[in-house]
Structure 1
Amino acid sequence: MEKNTILLVDDHKIIRDGLKLYFEGNDKYAVAAEAASAREALKLLEENDYDIVITDISMPEMDGIRFTQELKVFKPEQKVMALTMISENQHIKHMLSAGVNGYILKNADKSEIFKAIDTILSDENYFSSEVTKIIMDNMAGKKKPSKRLTLETPLTRREKEVLELIVKEYSNQEIADALFISVRTVDAHKRNLLEKTGCKNIAGLVVYAIEHNIG
């Protein structure tokens, strides 16, 4: 069976790499290409066809909203799904106006990501439950306070050092060597970081670091 092709668009390689792991060995989907910027993605889309584009919103130079707008001009039928940490109503509204076919948050697990893709490729829209609630509340005239997906817990100096090296894509051994600690200690710091920030995986930690200007 021919697999559905995916284009990943995210300016952080570690997040793209994490997402690609989800699709390894999958019978239905394959990551056919990846782009580190919206400009790079648009060039790829001018030269190639993909069944679905999965894009972040927060990217330098051109964000996911403008990217989707420009993409839909020359490929109006292209399926696009936003995968982001941003849950503010304004961004959701702008992405909907741009023509996005789905919107889920980066705290989604693998099964929801697959469900979203299945739904979108079946010519239906898919929005995560939290995004749907935000949309419905907005339609009902309710104001939703800004909600973060991570906890606001102070990190220790060592935890910040470990997080900085995670953002730089250091392996556990490389972090251990750089900080003169054991790999077991690195693992412990990673577990503490996940617990303190409320992130579910390394991709979430990278986004947390970006939001808090760490690294």
Structure 2
Amino acid sequence: MSRKIELIVVDDHPIFRQGLVNVIETNERYKVIGEADSILDALSLVKTRPPDLLLVDISLHHENGLELVQELHRTRPQIFQLVISMYDEIIYASKALQAGARGYVMKQEATETLMSAIETVLQGKIYLSDAMQERLIDSYASWDTKKPEMDLITQLSVREMQVFRMIGQGFGVSEIAEILNLSGKTINAYRDNIRQKLAISDAGSLRKFAIKWIQSEFIKNN
């Protein structure tokens, strides 16, 4: 018998959380191994028994669930994370992906949609609802893809492209250095080279451009 896929649910509303657990466990392949209503409790559960997938609400009492997503993306990148939320503004979906989540689902979606999202994320893909994809496309459509920086991207080396992608995924210099097993000084040098090649004046502008590029790649591939 194959091992069940293990999940942890993080939500500060007990009734919704229990309903979510019940829905998930209708699939015999899934097992919810823990529930939490705060970042601290979630981190404790993950430390004790790391799941395959974590479902996280953005709003956790007075805490921001995306802080949990970002922390686990940095310390335990092997754990897939799916954000569930009542908020449907495009800024939240974008921020969730930037923090390290692999998908975003609104709470009012049908249970079939949630299960589809879980399956998609577990396959290593990114999941966004149709409505969110349309909004990202609308946002991307207003971005000038013919700007000079787009053509200049082809000039980046393989390593520079790797660093550029990670910047767009929300990683900081120290995190990139740790993942690539390089020094922070080396990553800063790569970042400076990327800025020069793309004719971008500062690190903040580079990060914004990299995030937009990552979003555009997602849209092209979905």
Tell me what 2:187 maps to: none
Supply the distance in 2 between the matched residues of 1:96 and 1:105 (Cα, whole angstroms).
Answer: 14
Matches of residues 1-215 of structure 1 in structure 2 within 5 Å? 1-141=2-142
**Distance (Å, rounded) in 1 between the aligned partners of 2:35 and 2:124:** 23
Structure 1 residue 140 displacement after superposition: 1.5
Counterpart-to-counterpart distance in 2, 1:25 and 1:133? 30
CA RMSD of aligned residues (A): 1.5
Partners of 1:121 and 1:23 in 2: CA distance: 13
Q: Distance in 2 between matches of 1:23 and 1:97?
A: 26
Q: Return the letter of the residue paired with 1:62.
A: E
- After superposition, the Cα gap between the structure-2 partners of 1:25 and 1:138, relative to the gap in structure 1 and judged at 3 Å, is closer
The answer as to whether partners of 1:39 and 1:62 remain within 8 angstroms in 2 is no
Q: Aligned partner of 1:98: which letter?
A: A
> How many Å separate the matches in 2 of 1:90 and 1:129?
16
Q: In structure 2, how many angstroms separate the alpha carbons of the residues matched to 1:67 and 1:61?
A: 13
CA distance in 2, matches of 1:25, 1:81: 18
Would you say the 8 A contact 2:7–2:34 is kept in 1?
yes
Unpaired stretches in structure 1, ≥5 consecutive residues:
143-215
* One-letter amino acid of the counterpart of residue 67, structure 1: L
Separation in 2, partners of 1:25, 1:118: 14
User: Structure 1 residues 25, 86: CA separation in 2 closer, same or farther (over 3 Å shift)?
Assistant: closer
Q: Contact 2:96–2:103 (CA<8 Å) still a contact in 1?
A: no
The alpha-carbon deviation at position 59 of structure 1 amounts to: 1.6
Call closer, same or farther: CA 1:43–1:61 in 2, change over 3 Å.
farther
- How many residues align structurally? 142
Distance in 2 between the 1:53 and 1:118 partners?
13
| CA displacement at 1:98 relative to structure 2 | 0.4
Q: Give, in whole Å, the separation in 2 of the partners of 1:140 and 1:36.
A: 38
Displacement of 1:12: 0.8
Contact 2:24 2:115 in 1 (8 A): no
Contact 1:57 1:84 in 2 (8 A): yes
Q: TM-score, normalised by structure 2?
A: 0.61
Q: Alpha-carbon deviations, 1:35-61, whole Å to 9, x = none?
A: 011221012112211010001101234
Q: After TM superposition, what 4+ stretches of structure 1 lie above 4 angstroms from structure 2?
A: none
Q: Distance in 1 between matches of 2:26 and 2:100?
A: 31
Greater relative contact order (CA < 8 Å, ≥ 6 in sequence):
1
Q: Secondary structure at the match of 1:73?
A: helix
Cα deviation, residue 27, structure 1: 1.3
